[in-house]
Chain A
Amino acid sequence: MTNPSIENLRLELRRGSLVLAVLAQLQTEQYGYELRKSLLEKGLDIEESTLYPLLRRLETQGLLTSQWRLEDKREKRFYTTSEDGRKVLERLRAEWKTITASLERIL
Chain B
Amino acid sequence: MKYKTEIVDEYLTEVGVYVRDPNRADILRELRSAIADELDAQAEQLGRPPTADETAAVLDRFGEPSTIAARFAAKPRSFTVGRPLIGPELFPLYLTFLRWSFSITAAVFAVVMIRQIAAGHDAQTVAQRVFGFPGVFLPMVVQLVGTTLAFVVWERLVAPRRKRWTARRFASLPPPRRAIAAAGATFALLAIGWLLLPDAVDRIPGRVVRLTDGWRAFHLPVFALLFAASAYRIALLRWPLLWRYVPAIRFAISVGALGALAVVRLGYPLAVAQATASPRAQFIVMILNAPTVLWWLWLYFAICAFGYGMSLKKTQDSDL
Contacts and interface: CB of A to CB of B under 8 A. Distances in A.
Interface of A: 31-33, 37, 47-50, 52-53, 56, 60, 74-77
Contacts, number: 46
Contacts of A50: 71
B36 interface: yes
B238 to A, nearest CB: 30
Interface residues of B, number: 18
B61 A47 contact: yes
Nearest to B68: A49
A32 B72 CA distance: 15
A90 B72 CA distance: 26
B68 A53 contact: yes
B72 A56 contact: yes
Contact of B37 (A53, A56, A60, A76): A76
Contacts of B63: 47-49
A48 B62 contact: yes
B284 to A, nearest CB: 56
24 contacts: A31-B33, A31-B37, A32-B30, A33-B38, A33-B41, A47-B61, A48-B34, A48-B62, A48-B63, A49-B61, A49-B62, A49-B68, A52-B30, A52-B62, A53-B71, A56-B27, A56-B72, A60-B74, A74-B33, A74-B36, A75-B33, A76-B37, A77-B30, A77-B33
A29 B65 CA distance: 28
B38 A48 contact: yes
Contacts of B67: 49
Q: Which residue of B27, B61, B68 has the most chain A CB atoms within 10 A of its CB atom?
A: B68
A56 B29 CA distance: 13
Given A47-B61, A49-B62, A49-B63, A33 B37 contact: yes
Contacts of B62: 48-49, 52
Contacts of B74: 60
B255 interface: no
Nearest to A55: B30
Interface in B41-97: 41, 61-63, 67-68, 71-72, 74
A5 to B, nearest CB: 14
A3 B27 CA distance: 32
Contacts of A31: 33, 37
B192 interface: no
A49 B71 contact: yes
B68 A33 contact: no
Contacts of B29: 75
B31 interface: yes
B162 to A, nearest CB: 15
Nearest to B69: A53
A76 B36 CA distance: 10
A37 B67 CA distance: 23
